[in-house]
Structure 1
Amino acid sequence: MSTAVAIQGIKGSFHHIVSQHYFDADVKIIECLSFDSTIEALLKKQCDVAIIALENSIAGSIIPNYALINDHNLQIVGEYYLDIQHHLMALPHQKITDITEVYSHPMALLQCKAFFKNHPHIKLIEDKDTAEVAQRIQSQKLTQVAAIASRLASEIFELEILAESIQTIKTNETRFVVVKRQDAEVSQNDINKASLKFELDHKRGSLAAILNVLSDCKLNLTKIQSLPKIETPWKYAFFVDVTFDNIADFEKAKSIVTLMATDFKILGAYKSASL
């Protein structure tokens, strides 16, 4: 029986590519045009697992997705780093000079901003999903309109690539996480990374004290992200990723941080993906 996977976007999107790489077996794709609807599909048990992007090496963290994982008590069970190559594509037999509008996801437009400075005649318009724009161009036979999407999208929707790898920084990676509903099992032998969330009182040294504990317990801090608490001005939740060689070190740190922080939560303990 194939695994049902909810993704943000449609077939040909970068989330779709991750699903193909992460899972060895065939997967049934549940297409969702927002991160909220992706998580909703998981909560309604329309799928077994969801894949969502968390951060990009150029554009930074996708902060609302941290809140989605936390607020719905989801569990991160894995991660995947994907090399993101953005290609400009349109219906066949057109040139860049023919294109008047480019539609794509805001993150893709941001990552390709410098390219379009050399093409000031093109209007950039934000849209929900990279691959969905490619699909629309094909289905509606839209001329003078281009999409920024993956090479897979150009193949699926029979579009011609007008310019390859147009992202400003050529080394462009996005970290995706694989999430399940709570209490998903991950083999203890595979665990060498964890994602944590905690809150701290707004006083001097409180964050430093936590970070010292992580260091003393031989945990390597790979990510820290703060998120303001809307209902409590000037109070922040911290999202932290740590790696470790020995799970006993992680267990020790966990027991200490539980006593020091408010609303301490393990968002997931899983196997680290190679960069």
Structure 2
Amino acid sequence: MINTVSIQGIKGSFHHIVAKTYFGDAVVIDECLSFDTLVDNLLNKKSDVAVMAIENSIAGSILPNYALIDKYNLHIIGEHYLDIQHNLMALPGQTISDIKEVHSHPMALLQCKKFFKNYPNIKLVEDKDTAETAQRISENNLKGIAAIASKTAADIFGLDILAESIQTIKENQTRFVIVKTKNSVLDESEINKASLRFELDHKRGSLASVLNVLSDCRMNLTKIQSLPIIEKPWQYSFFVNVTFTDYENYKKARTILEIMAKEFKVLGEYKNGKL
């Protein structure tokens, strides 16, 4: 049974929205100001499970989180795709003309940069977290300062939304993974996606051979990401996501890759969150 969920950020953040959507309102939220703290709390059993952003449709992969999952042998037990809508918010009664500075996470500021070209007098200030900025504006009654955050953050901290969906690219999704210290106990009939990690020899065609195995076993490769191996200069580990309709085909591919690849690891077997 899931009782406590660790998230990066505070209530009102996009991680918070995912935790509540995935697990329901009854769970206790463990707020962490960094992904390192999130992993520590999971390993120390302060929480039962954690929510981690892993990639964004605009910005791409969040490589440090791949490394954390690998280093601490975490298991992906599920995933959730969230439509990211950035909203400009400030204390009640203010308008955009009253705003002198906008504070938010660097990625949020980057994704909304085009909107602020129409407001050259507004200074953009990088901050640690979207929701935390909204909280600070509310608690300190900061006039003339706005935040970019979710509608949930505006509701929690009593801020007015001055402009909705100000991100430049309107189709903006982030993939979040649900991680535990132990593997999932899903029935094989429910599993149709897997995350794998492996290393390969520096030989011509080694990666092509792996891709051929996946194709021959009817795996759909939805993601491939390389990451440097810190202890081995100029060598890389590969992280792949595959989807499938027949678990037996996946088991066949997994068995072959265990033989072909070095340091082969299953990071998770779970339900495809994007159907």
> How many Å separate the matches in 2 of 1:169 and 1:69?
29
Distance 1:25 1:114, change over 3 A: closer
User: How far is 1:182 from its partner?
Assistant: 2.4
User: How far is 1:24 from its partner?
Assistant: 3.8
Q: Which amino acid aligns with 2:268?
A: G
> How many Å separate the matches in 2 of 1:187 and 1:26?
25
Alignment of 1:1-275 (within 5 A): 3-24=3-24, 26-274=26-274
Work out the number of aligned pairs and report it: 275
Post-superposition CA distance 1:214-267 (Å, at most 9, x none): 000000000111111122221111110000111111110011111111111000
Q: Which amino acid aligns with 1:89?
A: M
Please state whether the residue corresponding to 1:26 is helix, strand or coil.
Answer: coil
Please state whether the residue corresponding to 1:40 is helix, strand or coil.
Answer: helix
The percentage of aligned residue pairs carrying the same residue is: 65
User: How far is 1:204 from its partner?
Assistant: 2.0
> How many Å separate the matches in 1 of 2:156 and 2:105?
18
Q: Mean Cα displacement is larger for which, 124-133 or 51-60?
A: 124-133
Post-superposition CA distance 1:16-69 (Å, at most 9, x none): 111111114611000011111111110110010000100111111111100010
Q: Mean Cα displacement is larger for which, 224-233 or 207-216?
A: 224-233
Q: Mean Cα displacement is larger for which, 85-94 or 119-128?
A: 119-128
Q: Which amino acid aligns with 2:75?
A: Q
Report the RMSD for the aligned CA atoms in angstroms.
Answer: 1.3
> How many Å separate the matches in 2 of 1:39 and 1:139?
29
User: How far is 1:102 from its partner?
Assistant: 1.4
Maintained 8 Å contact 1:86/1:167: yes
Please state whether the residue corresponding to 2:132 is helix, strand or coil.
Answer: helix
Distance 1:273 1:183, change over 3 A: closer
> How many Å separate the matches in 1 of 2:92 and 2:24?
34
Gaps of 5+ in 2: none
Maintained 8 Å contact 1:2/1:28: no
TM-score normalised to the size of structure 2?
0.97
User: How far is 1:165 from its partner?
Assistant: 0.2
